[in-house]
Amino acid sequence: MSINTTDKIPNNVDLVADKTLQRALEHWQPRFIDWWRETGPDGSHGFEVYLRTAISVERDGWANFGYVKMPEYRWGIFLNPVQGGGTIAFGDHKGQPVWQEVPGEHRANLRRIIVTQGDTEPASVEQQRHLGRTAPSLYDLRNLFQINVEEGRHLWAMVYLLHRYFGRDGREEADALLERRSGDADNPRILGAFNERTPDWLAFFMFTHFTDRDGKFQLNALAESGFEPLARTTQFMLTEEAYHMFVGESGVSRVIQRTCEVMKQLKTDDPAQVRAAGAIDLTTIQRYLNYHYSVTIDLFGADQSSNAAIFYSSGLKGRFREAKRNDDHLLKDASYTVLEPSAGAQLSEREVPMLNALNEVLRDDFIRDSEAGVGRWNRVIEKSELPDRLTLPHKAFNRRIGSLADALVSPEGRVVAESEWSARARDWLPTDGDRAFVASLMTRVVEPGRYAGWIAPPRVPVNGQPMDYEYVRIG
């Protein structure tokens, strides 16, 4: 497959051979740039940023580093090479050849899946657009921008599929992806968590740790799709997603590191003293964690969903690591346990058909992965010889979607009365005071190699550069 790196749109899909498609994308591109200038990183358009750009899917091709002004970033279209045996691995079409074109009977569902995924990509750029103004270092500023341009590329990836495979209504959906706005009352983004604000850098690190990790699981499920162009597209997106989660996990680790240093220095665990010393107390970090985790697990959708069953049975969306699972990959006779509120103020377990519970299956895979992440954060505290620990809240805590949506459940998983919820919510979720305090720490640090006082420096620089590298030339 030829890679036309000199084109306006770097790609490995032989764009030059398809004039209609090329014209459609070249028509969409200026609208994308308008969108970027309007809702992309605020006040950054003249910055020269040390970014990686994908120009091919090969080892040395997908991470080319150099200084770029972001509106001139070359957003490309890349599909992973064909893998596997070329047959659909699950559902009613199991064993049949994978689809190279959209199967007519599943067209509407497939388009809906692609649009829903595509909508999250520009949404997160919009959510993060003000953060550059308060970056704690040039290293962090660069990482924010790297994530933003790659989310832009993920939008390109989905728009390519819409233009190439869906004709007119695909083009209309691609335009609509640039028209919705995160948090807009009249024309919001599709999913709840992508309409929330990302007001500060602790929220940003929690978002990239948890919400980009939701992306990892959704993309993995789509990477199994019987529609091969979608599978190969999402496989390549996952290489970029790994870095986004690294930024989140290491970002929170560095905040914790700094907090522990202050706690040890002052020999205190009093949040007020930690705050007075300019660090973020662990209780506030825990409340941010509770919030971002609970909002993110809602993204997996209702615990029982006939759509999830249809997406699976029709071969459009698999499970996380579908091929590694030892079952019939049809799931007609399988069951799965879901939680629901029951009389007597308890949560109870219920066995339901697994096909209907596939959102819950994916959510539980995500939860296991998240537990490991919190374990790594706790090792930072452990190494500082402090007894405190962070925990993931119970999966019924603060839910808005599915059968747990109406339950009031504490972070430990106890069903509580409304009076207890109102009295304790301030201990469990970030308060206005927490947010105001964190906001008060957010000031931009732009001297190379320097870091704001609330966060420890990173352990390793980007791409082997010296620790005081000028990752962003603000000019």
User: Does residue 212 interact with Fe ion by CB under 5 A?
Assistant: yes
CB of 197 to Fe ion, least distance (A): 18
DSSP letter (8 states) at residue 210: I
For 356, phi and psi rounded to 5 degrees? Answer: -80, -15
Give the span between the Cα atoms of 70 and 39, in whole angstroms: 13
Give the chain's count of helices (H) and strands (E). 12, 5
User: Does residue 93 interact with Fe ion by CB under 5 A?
Assistant: no
Nearer of residues 137 and 148 to Fe ion, judged by Cβ = 148
Site for Fe ion in 162-191 (CB under 5 A): none
Nearer of residues 150 and 303 to Fe ion, judged by Cβ = 150
Task: From 60-68, 107-115, 207-215, 464-472, give the range in contact with Fe ion by CB under 5 A.
Answer: 207-215
CB of 57 to Fe ion, least distance (A): 16
DSSP letter (8 states) at residue 399: -
CB of 154 to Fe ion, least distance (A): 4
Token couple for 203: 């929220």
Nearer of residues 121 and 360 to Fe ion, judged by Cβ = 121
List the x/- string, 301-340, binding to Fe ion by CB under 5 A. Answer: ----------------------------------------
CB of 219 to Fe ion, least distance (A): 8
Task: From 95-103, 182-190, 204-212, 416-424, give the range in contact with Fe ion by CB under 5 A.
Answer: 204-212
Angle at which helix 432-441 crosses helix 282-297, to 10 degrees, equals: 110
Nearer of residues 24 and 144 to Fe ion, judged by Cβ = 144
CB of 319 to Fe ion, least distance (A): 20
CB of 460 to Fe ion, least distance (A): 20
User: Does residue 244 interact with Fe ion by CB under 5 A?
Assistant: yes
Task: From 117-125, 221-229, 336-344, 360-368, give the range in contact with Fe ion by CB under 5 A.
Answer: 117-125
Q: Under rule CB under 5 A, how many of the chain's residues touch Fe ion?
A: 7
Question: For the sheet containing 48-53, what is the strand order?
Answer: 64-69, 48-53, 472-473
Q: H or E segment at 350?
A: strand 346-353
Nearer of residues 13 and 222 to Fe ion, judged by Cβ = 222
Sign of the dihedral through C-alpha 378, 382, 385, 388: positive
Q: Please answer whether residues 15 and 35 qualify as being in contact, where contact means their C-beta atoms are separated by less than 8 angstroms.
A: no
Among 52, 154, 292, 399, the residue binding Fe ion under the rule CB under 5 A is 154
Neighbours of 321 (CB within 10 A): 12
Give the span between the Cα atoms of 466 and 370, in whole angstroms: 32
CB of 151 to Fe ion, least distance (A): 5
Residues 6+ apart with CB under 8 A from 375: none
Give the span between the Cα atoms of 405 and 303, in whole angstroms: 10
Nearer of residues 106 and 154 to Fe ion, judged by Cβ = 154
Report which residue type is found at 359: N
Nearer of residues 157 and 256 to Fe ion, judged by Cβ = 157
User: Does residue 216 interact with Fe ion by CB under 5 A?
Assistant: no
Three-class secondary structure of residue 238 per DSSP: helix
Token couple for 312: 């699976």
Residues at the site binding Fe ion, with contacts judged by CB under 5 A? 121, 151, 154, 212, 215, 241, 244
